[in-house]
Chain A
């Protein structure tokens, strides 16, 4: 079995699977169980400033999106940071770290946006012996109304300022956790880097209302007839997270800045995808909340099996491997011409491809006598929708046209030269080819 040991910012953990700062990591009992189940690291539930802790609602704090068969696709939450006293959390963290020296333990922190507050808490966190801190600039509900969480994460200047304080008053790695509730994720990432952050972690949860009660006309989860937007997470948010991670990984200003990937990691494959897009490790929450801590076993075995198959001996050998292949639309090869092809032996004749293409795409599929579906190459733009809606794996495939053949749709000869929009004659900004 491949070795999953991961070094992230000099913090080693037996595997790259950390539990994110979230409800599962709110106390010693849970964290010990998590380590016993095999998690490589834990980011402790966010600590607040000394004094009376925050309070949570006493009604439901989670909403859910179900797929068929009540598969949990996404959860949103309106839980705040830890509602237990700072001292209690710190004592527990110190005990846990002492008992599990080989696991990563990170303190998540959210205190008011002034230097004194950060200066006060950092030394106390340091005393626990934890391996680093994560600045919670992400939570989109509750705390943001008080000028913390995503309210900081949405202002790059604040991110840079607070990060700088943390680097000044704390001598171990500082990870800045970013909110996705922003237009351009590169800006807060750049600010974090400028402030001296050792890494960023993303994404935190997304502003969301999971559903509306149509009898009471109130958003879910409903507290006494009212609801508030919560933070959305789970498998449903993974595509958004992957994109944001890739933007930071390939952006010139932030390229090389270590990233801890978060957002819907449920299986080994999800983790591998985040890691090849530049993440040094991943953080998980919803999968654990849905299936329990034991779910990490599949992630570990699966990633290890994949590494064995690929011949990787260490996670460092594939981290970031897909980053060079993420590009801008304008650089995509316009001479790459493909056509859909339907395998008549595999086709079960449901007609979904036909409905999708005929009604919503390019009328490029014929429905012939006996429910035979065939592609009309003269109309097919290779949009992929037929493949996306086909219930049978590999029944419809995209076949690249050979160079020298004629595309019946455009009448043009297919070339195997690379040519993109920047040089296309239709582009008014096109630079003439040399």
Chain B
């Protein structure tokens, strides 16, 4: 029997019971009374700041009022009209930096209306009882290819299908959902919600998914353009940034996204190995998700090492607090300079950093931490798509997602903008509207 103190990368550090408790729902769902009390706090603001702050512009005051008047399912429809992945967004949106940050009660009392939890309450209510809430329009005869079954691709496919187009989604992995399925902390989306949500979304009809179809391998952009009336790319960021430093290739130095994906797909968490001393390099949501989950799996010491200050950390205050409450040590202004160990990493060497004339520099002072597992979480990169113009390191698109190539749209993490599920949904939806308008104009 292993324990958190067992050296090396080991599985089974915690009992099944402990693991089950560690990975249960981060926020328990509201019961109806809690939802009523929470909904009652909404002021039904005029031109509400929360709506402006929501990338999908859900009519938040309206849906909360619908909860308050005893109709959580009608509330859910208000949500899904704008955001078909409203159930997942209710779980994973950083509401503390979006709608809830904008809530006037945050300004007044420092306690916003709990919009995310209310959204989950209503979307859960509808999904538990009803089938799919929307009807599909009559077939238009138009065919659209969507590459990637992540949030952007699914939102785009759903909107197109609802308008009567026939959609084929090409997905590289064996399951749909993209980062919802492979890339988000397990305690944020328990009980296979990501898969259930896709099943429910597909209830609109008119969408088929081809798995094991990677762009540039099994399918080509050229081929899709020939065979479909329009193409939407929601390919995400398939590459990961590497650490270029001494010892960076040692065993035990791994990608955080891979670790998270393995954890999400694991049937038995006790069989999933994790280090005794884990160090996560990075400062975003992926870094926090990897660090917290390492701790929850039973790592004895988990350190999150971020090269800048706490204020500059991309992960929100809520995420930082969550990590700290789970026992993750947050280190700021440190950057990795070397990995030490004979074959496998045993120690990581970090150098302190400071801002000098607005530029981040090492101070020359270093320290070493024991580390038998190091996760890189320093960003993902776009896998190149031939023939498309770039905007920086992402695909160049217009406001409605048109790429530089006629008939090809794109959205989600592969295009500029914040890499959030809710942003991807908005981009997929808006591209679908533009594709629809374009196809119908040519049809007429």
Which A positions have Cβ atoms within 8 angstroms of B?
69, 267-269, 291-292, 294-295, 297-298, 301-302, 305-306, 392-393
Contact = CB atoms under 8 A, between A and B. Distances in A.
Contact of B69 (A291, A292, A298): A298
B181 interface: no
Contacts of A302: 66, 69, 71, 74
Contacts of A301: 62, 66, 71, 74, 77-78
Given A292-B46, A298-B66, A302-B69, A393 B33 contact: yes
Nearest to B70: A269
Contacts of A393: 32-33
Contacts of A292: 44, 46
Nearest to A298: B65
Interface in B313-339: none
Contacts of B393: none
A1 to B, nearest CB: 9
Contacts of A298: 62, 65-66, 69
Nearest to A299: B69
A48 B382 CA distance: 71
Contacts of B41: 69
Interface string B52-94: 0000000000100110111101100110000000000000000
B69 A268 contact: yes
A267 B44 contact: no
A296 to B, nearest CB: 11
A269 B33 contact: no
Given A268-B71, A294-B46, A305-B71, 18 more contacts: A69-B41, A267-B65, A267-B68, A267-B69, A269-B70, A291-B44, A292-B46, A295-B44, A298-B66, A301-B71, A301-B74, A301-B78, A302-B66, A302-B69, A302-B71, A302-B74, A305-B74, A393-B33
29 contacts: A69-B40, A69-B41, A267-B65, A267-B68, A267-B69, A269-B69, A269-B70, A291-B44, A292-B44, A292-B46, A294-B46, A298-B65, A298-B66, A298-B69, A301-B62, A301-B66, A301-B71, A301-B77, A301-B78, A302-B66, A302-B69, A302-B71, A302-B74, A305-B71, A305-B74, A306-B71, A392-B33, A393-B32, A393-B33
A145 B93 CA distance: 59
Contacts of A291: 44
Contacts of A305: 71, 73-74
Interface size bucket, B side?
10 to 19
A327 to B, nearest CB: 27
A392 B33 CA distance: 8
Nearest to B33: A393
Contacts of A268: 69, 71
Contacts of A267: 65, 68-69
Nearest to A297: B62
Nearest to B61: A294
Contacts of B78: 301
Interface of B is mostly: helix
A67 to B, nearest CB: 10
A294 B40 CA distance: 18
Nearest to B66: A298
A291 B61 CA distance: 11
B47 to A, nearest CB: 9
Contacts of B73: 305
A291 B69 CA distance: 15
A71 B46 CA distance: 16
Contacts of B74: 301-302, 305
A269 B68 CA distance: 11
Contacts of B69: 267-269, 298, 302
A297 B64 CA distance: 12
A72 to B, nearest CB: 11
Interface string B31-56: 01100000011001010000000000
A271 to B, nearest CB: 11
A434 to B, nearest CB: 46
A310 B68 CA distance: 20
Nearest to A308: B74
A423 B335 CA distance: 91
Nearest to A71: B40
A86 to B, nearest CB: 32
Q: Which 7 A-B pairs have the closest CB atoms?
A: A305-B74, A267-B69, A298-B65, A291-B44, A301-B74, A305-B71, A302-B69
B111 to A, nearest CB: 12
Contacts of B33: 392-393
Contacts of A297: 62
Nearest to B74: A305
Contacts of B62: 294, 297-298, 301
Contacts of B68: 267
A197 B98 CA distance: 55
A301 B64 CA distance: 13
Contacts of B32: 393
Nearest to A346: B33
A109 B46 CA distance: 32
B241 to A, nearest CB: 46
Contacts of A392: 33
Contacts of A294: 46, 62
A392 B65 CA distance: 21
A78 B375 CA distance: 70
Nearest to A269: B69
A269 B40 CA distance: 16
Task: Point out which of B32, B44, B46, B77 has the most chain A C-beta atoms below 10 A from its C-beta.
Answer: B44
A38 to B, nearest CB: 12
A360 B41 CA distance: 32
Task: Point out which of B33, B41, B74 has the most chain A C-beta atoms below 10 A from its C-beta.
Answer: B74
B72 to A, nearest CB: 10
A345 B279 CA distance: 46
Nearest to B44: A291
A239 to B, nearest CB: 18
Nearest to A270: B69
Contacts of A69: 40-41
A269 B62 CA distance: 15
Nearest to B68: A267
Nearest to A305: B74
A294 B47 CA distance: 10
Task: Point out which of A268, A269, A301 has the most chain B C-beta atoms below 10 A from its C-beta.
Answer: A301
Nearest to A266: B69
A392 B31 CA distance: 11
Contacts of A269: 69-70
A298 B65 CA distance: 7
Nearest to A393: B33
Contacts of B44: 291-292, 295
